[in-house]
Amino acid sequence: MKLRYSNQGRHALTAVEVLVVIGVLAIFLAIIDFGPPASAKRKAQRVACADNLKQIGLSYRVWGGDHNDKYPMQIAVTNGGAREQALTGDAVAIFRGMSNELGTPKILICPADPIRFAATNFNRDLNGKISYFVNVDASDAYPQMILSGDDNFAIGGLPVKSGLLEVSAKTPIAWTAARHKFAGNLGMADGSVQMASNSGLTNLANQATNRLAIP
């Protein structure tokens, strides 16, 4: 019996076929998401931001425990506080005064903040390396008063600037989309943290006038 061989030879891919294969692979790789979905990433950032504010709130309470239940904004500089700086809107001085309680400046940066990065220590310049405002009028006597929170909000559509900002019931305040997609975290004087929409932020303005130190 004679073996029969096929005379059909194998041939290499043509240049056109190679380009087609490369194109298909490119489309396939573009469709595949190798990282977490954007919504999951935003959620993780919100949680991490809330954790930062909880630690900040705890630091205030620990600091207050050593200063007759008062915060740095209520104690004069000569007595170890930061009242004079707070009244000028100097958030840096307030946080630096609690450096021992805070432990690390990394918790002063919201993980969703697109323009700031953490300082390596409190001895270096903290300007431009803080994501959270401080309510100069916050007091341990009012547990549900807002103490601190994300500073990415706008007044009348214009992003706020560093310094002292007075917020009242007539202030047209709203979150920007810069961090948590038109929302933000607010730390309360009792140490709790609330995720707030624009309406929640407006409730801040509906309280008594608050003076916010914007970093």
**For residues 131-159, average pLDDT:** 93
3-state helix vs strand vs coil in the chain, percent to 5: 35, 15, 45
pLDDT more than 90, % of the chain: 63
- CA 210/CA 85 separation, integer angstroms: 16
**For residues 189-209, average pLDDT:** 84
191 torsion bin: left (phi>0), alpha (psi -120 to 50), beta (else): left
Q: Whole-number mean pLDDT of the chain?
A: 86
pLDDT for 30: 53
Give pLDDT tens digits for 79-134: 999 999 999 999 999 999 999 999 999 999 999 999 999 999 998 789 999 999 99
Give pLDDT tens digits for 35-75: 556 778 888 999 999 999 999 999 999 999 999 999 999 99
pLDDT beyond 50 at 5: no
Which residue type, as a one-letter code, is found at position 42?
Answer: R
pLDDT beyond 60 at 25: yes
Lowest-confidence region among 7-16, 110-119, 135-144, 206-215: 7-16
- CA 111/CA 44 separation, integer angstroms: 9
Structure tokens at 120: 């390596």
pLDDT beyond 80 at 17: no
CB atoms within 10 A of CB 176: 18
* The overall pTM is greater than 0.95: no
DSSP annotation of 161 reads: -
Distances in Å between the Cα of 16 and the Cα atoms of 9, 13, 20, 26, 86 are 20, 8, 6, 15, 69
Per-residue pLDDT band at 24 (split at 50, 70, 90): low
pLDDT beyond 80 at 32: no
pLDDT beyond 60 at 2: no
Tell me if 181 sits within 8 A of 187, measured CB to CB. Answer: no
